[in-house]
Amino acid sequence: MTSDIVSATLPGNTVRPILSAAESADGVAAFSEAFERGLDDDSLNHTHLIVEKSGAPVAVAGIAPDGSVEMAVHPEHRRAGHGRALVEAARERNTDAGFWAHGDLPAAQELAAAFGMKKVRELLVMGTVLDDDTQAPQLRDGYDLVAYPELVDRWGRGVVEKQWLEVNNDAFSWHPEQGDWDIEQLHRAMDTDWFDPEGLWFLVKGDEIAGFHWTKRHPDGTGEVYVVGLASAHRGEGMGGPLVQAGLSYLKNVGSSQVILYVESDNGAAVKRYRQLGFEIREQHVVYK
């Protein structure tokens, strides 16, 4: 067997067959949305390592600037040491690398154990069914729910996005990926094929944004509670539930019967709130170090 690890800049379609085959075999995507974009977008500054066998790519790892790593090995080339080789190469480049295992599959657990790694983070995928019982949001006096296009018409795009960014960074000051954004990151996140301005809802009180619910629809019609953020000044007023319901109602109206969301497993309050709204755990994604 002849295999080598090479570094590649924006490998894009070169490695997508690996990701597609891995997802088909495993039932879960090996790369998250951000790492998928990193294959083509050099502004994300991802490093890519590719295992080649006889000149053909058979495995790939992406390394983000924060040291997080996502990997995939083609199903036809597993159990040949390629995963171990990628872990070793990623650790050479960043000794504090954290390895995502989407779905936390047995093979990932085995590889992590071989390197003495432990789980340091767990992200849950929760899901629910939308039906005729899905409730419309009930707001307290003084609050309003407004879709992005309408709010831009009222206030102007610059004002809306400035306040939106402030609420996001306030709500996610603790979060390793979602916090501390700048306007370029916000625009980059909006610059996707699936972005739907009508599916972005703002909770407004007077002349300020109190919270937002950014929804997403997947190609198969599944909806997603993509990001929900509530400003700290408006917490404790019972607005989190209506804000979530606003997005669910929208997704139901545009035809989504299934909805998922991602939430940190140690965010007990959020997990409890989503359970109360009918969500159940469907997948677990973990980081090993």
Closest listed residue to residue 168, CA positions, set 209, 136, 109:
209
What 3-state class would DSSP assign to 111?
Answer: helix
User: CA–CA separation, 211 vs 234, rounded Å?
Assistant: 8
Angle between helices 157-171 and 148-155 (to 10 degrees): 120
Buried b (16+ CB within 10 A) or exposed e, 55-83: eebbbbbbbbeebbbbbbbbeebeebebb
In 137-170, which positions are buried (b, 16+ CB within 10 angstroms) versus exposed (e)?
bebeeebebbbbeebbeebeeeebbebbbebbbe
Query: 3-state class of 238 per DSSP?
Result: coil
Query: Which parts are annotated binding residues?
Result: 33, 177, 216, 224, 228-230, 262, 267-272
**Residues 6+ away with beta carbon under 8 Å from 121:** 98, 264, 286, 287
C-alpha to C-alpha distances, 205 to 81, 107, 201, nearest whole angstrom: 57, 49, 13
User: Binding site for acetyl-CoA: what residues are annotated?
Assistant: 228-230, 267-272
